[in-house]
Amino acid sequence: MNENSFFGDVCSFFDHAAQFTKHPAGLLDQIKACNSVYRFRFPIRRNNGSVEVIDAWRVEHSHHMSPTKGGIRYSEMVNEDEVMALAALMTYKCAIVNVPFGGAKGGIKINTKAYSIAELENITRRFTVELVKKNFIGPAIDVPAPDYGSGEREMSWIADTYYTMNPGALDAMGCVTGKPIALHGIQGRREATGRGVAIAIRECMSVTEDMERLGLSVGISGKRVIVQGLGNVGYHTAKFLAEMGAVIVGLCEVEGAIYNESGLDVEEVFAFRKENGSILDFPKAKQRFKDSGEGLEQDCDVLVPAALENQITADNVGAIKARIIAEAANGPTTPEAASAFTGRGGIIIPDMYCNAGGVTVSYFEWLKNLSHVAFGRMDKRYEENANLTLVNMVEQMTGVSLTQEQRTQVVKGASELELVNSGLEDTMVRSYHEIREIKQRIEGVKDLRTAAFVGAIDKVAVSYMNLGIWP
């Protein structure tokens, strides 16, 4: 294994954490290794009549629980090492937030901008056929989801292809998550990862002891944040942080970065980039950097890398001024950089917890698909009628009448979106304090990533032991 690889980085973090557990070496090797690596190639016919061969992968890292779960990345930079690393992170991520899946990941080596929509559909459907042929997809086997370069559209093609090849399969729509609402998706999935990142940062900054050590006041209000990446995750993270009272002082994209110590309006920047193709000429920016990496090095309290892996390395970590790094992307900080940053007192909110909002809500979508009923449909009206009866009784007994606005707020039953967001928030809050408790309890565990790995290893180990493989 190449120790400089992404998978090597994940294994390095794993090995460091494993020393704080008491599991036998053989069990640790089983947990760390990728169980199944499927590399395949398939031909497609382009619109101009030429034939092109596409490289693709699906990796199932751990079968300690079924199904396995993980996104499909569409990128010309994707490779086997990256897919293996992302699959491993998914295993640990699911364990950390108590979602009952094993980890998996997929990749298709293409530049999506170089293909028409019809060609992308052809590629996605053929990819799905290959997975079906090898039994690498199914609601009880392996459940893909969106990732970099893919979204609801691609997930709908996958679901339709799977159902076409499995006619009459009652739970077929549970073969993939991140689908459009009209195709049995779930409210809140699109923004789930970004919302989860924002909640993770909020929880981190709610701990008085930790913030005093960093020299920061408690709470997220007024804290200066730089976000790298204005894709789905970065955009929603910045949006929700701003709603919580944070000040977005910097935004970084592939074309460069912008900075304004007084704050940037995320919606305005996003709209400007959509219209002009770049953030660099945004009129309200005070500073502009053609090198996106320079944007990471500007003054802030929280840095949110929400793009790709290996963005913070030994070469630039010394210039990072943030005191908290919230890893919205997978693997944005190398082990050397992470050690240097935490060694000087900084806090890293690790990726496998920080960006777990997506898989958490994907779990809710999967449950919805298996139960064949939307959340809230059965009890929303009953809840509203019961609340209304209670309000009427209280008003009669006290003689105090609520305003129409107050009455509506009290009586209203929970919608699917509200239930999803409630479940997501509860998951992220509980998981953060569970990780922090491990860090506080185990001597020698000095950072949240190690604590998260320790917790994940313990949970996966228990699952394997329950299978009867280890005594």
Q: Would you state the structure tokens that stand for residue 276, as one six-digit string?
A: 């002009």
Instruction: State the pLDDT at residue 400.
Output: 87
Q: What is the mean pLDDT of residues 179-193?
A: 94
In tens, the pLDDT along 202-239 reads 999 999 999 999 999 999 999 999 999 988 999 999 99
Q: What is the pLDDT of residues 249-263, one digit of tens each?
A: 999 999 999 999 999
Report d(CA 412, CA 168) in Å as an integer. Answer: 38
Mean per-residue pLDDT, 21-26: 94
Between 151-155, 336-340, 407-411, the lowest mean confidence (pLDDT) is in 407-411
Sheet holding 68-74, edge to edge: 36-45, 51-60, 102-108, 68-74, 142-146
Res. 273: pLDDT tops 60: yes
Condensed to tens digits (0 to 9), the pLDDT of residues 294-307 reads 999 999 999 999 98
Q: What pLDDT band is residue 2 in, cutting at 50, 70 and 90?
A: very low
pLDDT of residue 1: 42
Host H or E run for residue 256: strand 256-259
Share of the chain above pLDDT 70, in %: 99
pLDDT of 370 higher than 90: yes
**Residues forming the active site:** 105
Question: What is the spatial distance between Cα 166 and Cα 193, in angstroms, rounded to a whole number?
Answer: 31
414: confidence class by pLDDT, cuts 50, 70, 90: confident
At 227, give phi and psi (nearest 5°). Answer: -115, 130
**Position 467 pLDDT exceeds 80:** no
Separation between Cα atoms, residue 431 and residue 451, nearest integer Å: 11
Q: Mean of the pLDDT values across residues 277-295?
A: 91
pLDDT band at 310 (very low <50, low <70, confident <90, very high): confident
Q: Tell me the backbone φ, ψ of residue 24, rounded to 5 degrees.
A: -65, 155
pLDDT at 331 over 90: no
Structure confidence at residue 471 as a pLDDT band (50, 70, 90): low
Overall average pLDDT of the 9-14 stretch: 91
The rounded distance, in Å, linking the Cα atoms of 238 and 267 is 9
pLDDT band at 120 (very low <50, low <70, confident <90, very high): very high
How many whole angstroms separate alpha carbon 345 and alpha carbon 339?
10
Average pLDDT on 8-36 reads 94
**Averaged pLDDT for residues 262-276:** 93
Average pLDDT over residues 453-462: 96
Whether the CB-CB separation of 55 and 79 falls below 8 Å is answered with no
* Mean pLDDT on 27-51: 95
What Cα–Cα distance (Å) separates residue 196 from each residue in 347, 353, 407, 464? 18, 9, 30, 29
- pLDDT mean over 100-128: 97
Q: Within a 13 Å sphere around the CA of 93, how many CA atoms are in the beta-carbon half?
A: 36
Of residues 388, 363, 422, 414, the one with CA closest to residue 139 = 363
Q: Residue 138 carries which DSSP code?
A: B
